[in-house]
Structure 1
Amino acid sequence: MAEPFDWGLLEPAGAVGVPAGDDRVLAAMVAVEEALVGAWDELDGSAAQPGYAPLGFDAAAIDRARLVAGAREAGVPVIALVEQLREQAGAHAGRVHRGATSQDIVDSALVLVSRESLSRARSALAAAAAELATRAIRSRATPLLARTLTQQAEPTTLGAALASWLDAVVSALEVLDRLEYPVQLGGAVGTGAAFARLAARADAPQTLRAGVAARLGLSDPGRAWHTDRGPVLAIADAAARVAAVAGRVGRDLGLAARDGVLLPATGGGSSAMPHKQNPVDAVLLTANSLRAPGLLATVHTAALSSDARPAGEWHAEWQAWRELLRIAIESAEVLAHAIPDLVVVERAGSTVNADAADLASAGAVVDAAVARYRAHAEPDREAH
């Protein structure tokens, strides 16, 4: 088999993006096919028969080279995947992929990968928020000269600056917490006609969709959304939001390092200037944030669907969607490392003339941001 195209050479934080990689997408597609078999078994009553054995598949046994070749021939990976899954099923091959279409499998698999990827990103964002809240309180009275339009402006505090980052991170957490992860199951043209015909039951499309959703831990949207890319747009927007929030902090961290106010405690070598300690986390966060809008634009452009399945738009969506998930994970985890790694630099002879009113106003910003964070975090603590 050919070597993988992307193994992290030019993706410095790429190791943490593995949950959105090809192996995970393949495993998710296999899981969707397995869930569909289970839903059918429940629908037709075979699951209730004595000696029933659920049909399981081995994703690790899938021949990747054969799968890639099949994807090139068919334009989608599912046909070649189903062929191999039916081989694994042996005498039960007829139970595999009954009534489904390629879009059901790919869309549901990418939603499944999205849920897992953004759950990981959320955990890292929550860790970053907790550290920001602690540091904002600690630095609530540390004077800092704010800048507007790159120029020195008015006195504030480091605590207020950290509180502004905290507010942005909490906003991203709120977006993630509102997300829905719906299963997609509609058959060839979204009507589920093949399900109804094969089961000889008019309610088969609805029953199977609910069964697959339950087995995968996804929501049942009560419909097929194959040409309504709203669910995809919501997920992509949330992933881009994570990258944007982390990138905003990264940009500020880079400028603070330039000014000698905040420096990373670790990392940051230079191939040409050994004396340098570059703010690597800041650079990576900024870079990811700059990459995300182009990918998001592709997903939004691909939402201009047509017919019961468009020729090209759906296909264009896959990699952009997956890359946004990868960037969201990377950005969240780099941010979770960057905040506790910060060192506040006390520079000799530097003074910021912050009076009591300045400190009081900045302190109020800290209090409001920390209160908002705690209100949001409280349900998480109760859940655990």
Structure 2
Amino acid sequence: MTRSLYADLAGSGEIIEVLSDEAFLGNLLRVEKALAQGAVAQETVESYVLNVEDLSRRAAAGGNPVIPLVADLKAINPEGIHPGATSQDIIDSAIMMCLRDVTGEIIGKLEGLAQDLAELTSTHKETPIMGRTLGQIATATTFGAITGGWLVAVLNAKQKLENLEFPVSYGGASGNMAAVYPHGWEIQSQLAQKLYLKDPGWVWHSDRTPITDIAAALATASGVVRKIAGDVVFYSQTEVGELREKSPGGSSAMPHKANPAAAIACDGYARRAPGLLATLFDALDCRLQRGVGSWHAEWVTARELAAVTHAAVSRASTSINGIIVNVEVMASRTSGEAGHAVEIAERALQIFEREK
């Protein structure tokens, strides 16, 4: 399954290159190259031409794409290929490379969103607006206090992503490095260095928490921006009219409309994250030394979760960037003092400066 062009361009096109089947299968080849022993084996991997469709079709017979890949490489030259490894080592490491690369992209998007939110918070820390709780008018606050809350949540989500580790996998057939004893830990360390992955110092074949740690951080980022998008949609309603996106969407049937299209798209992408996360948590049921179906379910699901998170964050950033604030309408609905709202906005800005 090559990634959907529409879905990826709606986020931004660069993730096609890091989450596609071409990228995933290409990473399998990169892992094999890093493992290859000797000049002949290196030349074999370098000369191999990856055919994504052919390899994908042949993968069905053995349940994973590494089996036909290794067969192709060994047909060229059987020496020094796939030493001491099993399919899971190659696939897990390749997934980690995909997730590492897209997480860096998401962090960059969150940084831009945080900067825009900080500017909104600074500009509107004293702008009065009615607070709403449980769908009803509550007490007065400031728009800067509201955006400050969004800002801190974005910073927290970004920090969770920045703290992630992407471990290499190298355990062999039963996850005990038996085929390369006593050199397994050394090989794992070298492999991690070559692939720019973390050396975990252990074998995680049947412990899938490295996957769920990443998945939880991705889903958190999706949820954080979905909350912002939902608020923007409310404030942009005709009857409310307190916000308007810089480039609102139109309607094919109603030319008078100015839809908060970017916020709506963000909501649509982020809405898929909880289900994908649930699938990955279900895959923690990895039986014995290799999961039966649970492991296989991770390959597309983890990449899809990363894709929808990237798209959601990208659309949230587009929604907030240059958003128009109708301060007169906001003020017209308020009465009374906003209390500590200005202080709350200032505290959010202090947290932003500290995190920069």
TM-score, normalized by length of structure 1? 0.86
Does 1:217 pair with 2:196?
Answer: yes
Kindly tell me the number of residue pairs found equivalent between the two proteins. 352
Q: Deviations over 1:10-69 (max 9, x none)?
A: 6772554412221211222111111112xx45xxxx7xxxxx995474599311222011
Q: Which residue of 1 aligns with 2:33?
A: 34
- What does residue range 194-233 of structure 1 map to in structure 2 within 5 Å? 194-196=179-181, 202=182, 204-233=183-212
Q: Of 170, 173, 178, which residue of structure 2 is paired with 1:193?
A: 178
Does 1:171 pair with 2:148?
Answer: no
* Structure 1 residue matching 2:172: 3-state secondary structure: coil
Of 290-299 and 23-32, deviating more is 23-32
Q: Of 287, 290, 293, which residue of structure 2 is paired with 1:309?
A: 290
Distance 1:53 1:276 in 2: 62
Could you list the runs of 5+ residues in structure 2 that have no partner in the other structure?
Answer: none
Q: Which residue of 2 aligns with 1:13?
A: 10
Q: Of 76, 79, 83, which residue of structure 2 is paired with 1:98?
A: 83
Distance 2:203 2:55 in 1: 27
Q: Which residue of 2 aligns with 1:149?
A: 134
- What does residue range 266-345 of structure 1 map to in structure 2 within 5 Å? 266-345=247-326
Once the 2 structures are TM-superposed, how far is the Cα of residue 347 of structure 1 from its aligned partner?
A: 4.9
Task: Write the letter of the residue equivalent to 1:28.
Answer: N
Distance 1:284 1:348 in 2: 26
CA contact (8 A) 2:127 2:143 kept: yes
CA contact (8 A) 1:145 1:352 kept: yes
* Structure 1 residue matching 2:332: 3-state secondary structure: coil
Q: Deviations over 1:231-279 (max 9, x none)?
A: 0110111111111111111111111111211111114121221221211
Q: Which residue of 1 aligns with 2:101?
A: 116
**Relative to 1, partners in 2 of residues 1:6 and 1:124: Cα closer, same or farther, differing over 3 Å?**
closer
* Structure 2 residue matching 1:95: 3-state secondary structure: coil
**Relative to 1, partners in 2 of residues 1:144 and 1:350: Cα closer, same or farther, differing over 3 Å?**
closer
Distance 2:180 2:30 in 1: 19
Identity of aligned residues (%): 33
Once the 2 structures are TM-superposed, how far is the Cα of residue 219 of structure 1 from its aligned partner?
A: 0.9
Distance 2:324 2:180 in 1: 60
Distance 2:335 2:161 in 1: 37
Q: Of 156, 180, 199, which residue of structure 1 is paired with 2:165?
A: 180
Could you list the runs of 5+ residues in structure 1 that have no partner in the other structure?
Answer: 47-51, 197-201, 378-384
Distance 1:246 1:349 in 2: 23
Q: Of 70, 84, 93, which residue of structure 2 is paired with 1:82?
A: 70
Task: Write the letter of the residue equivalent to 2:104.
Answer: S
Task: Write the letter of the residue equivalent to 1:351.
Answer: S
Cα-Cα RMSD: 2.2
**Relative to 1, partners in 2 of residues 1:294 and 1:271: Cα closer, same or farther, differing over 3 Å?**
same
Distance 1:137 1:59 in 2: 56
Once the 2 structures are TM-superposed, how far is the Cα of residue 348 of structure 1 from its aligned partner?
A: 6.1
**Relative to 1, partners in 2 of residues 1:326 and 1:138: Cα closer, same or farther, differing over 3 Å?**
same
Once the 2 structures are TM-superposed, how far is the Cα of residue 220 of structure 1 from its aligned partner?
A: 0.6
Task: Write the letter of the residue equivalent to 1:163.
Answer: G
Q: Of 36, 56, 67, which residue of structure 2 is paired with 1:68?
A: 56
**Relative to 1, partners in 2 of residues 1:85 and 1:270: Cα closer, same or farther, differing over 3 Å?**
farther
**Relative to 1, partners in 2 of residues 1:343 and 1:231: Cα closer, same or farther, differing over 3 Å?**
same
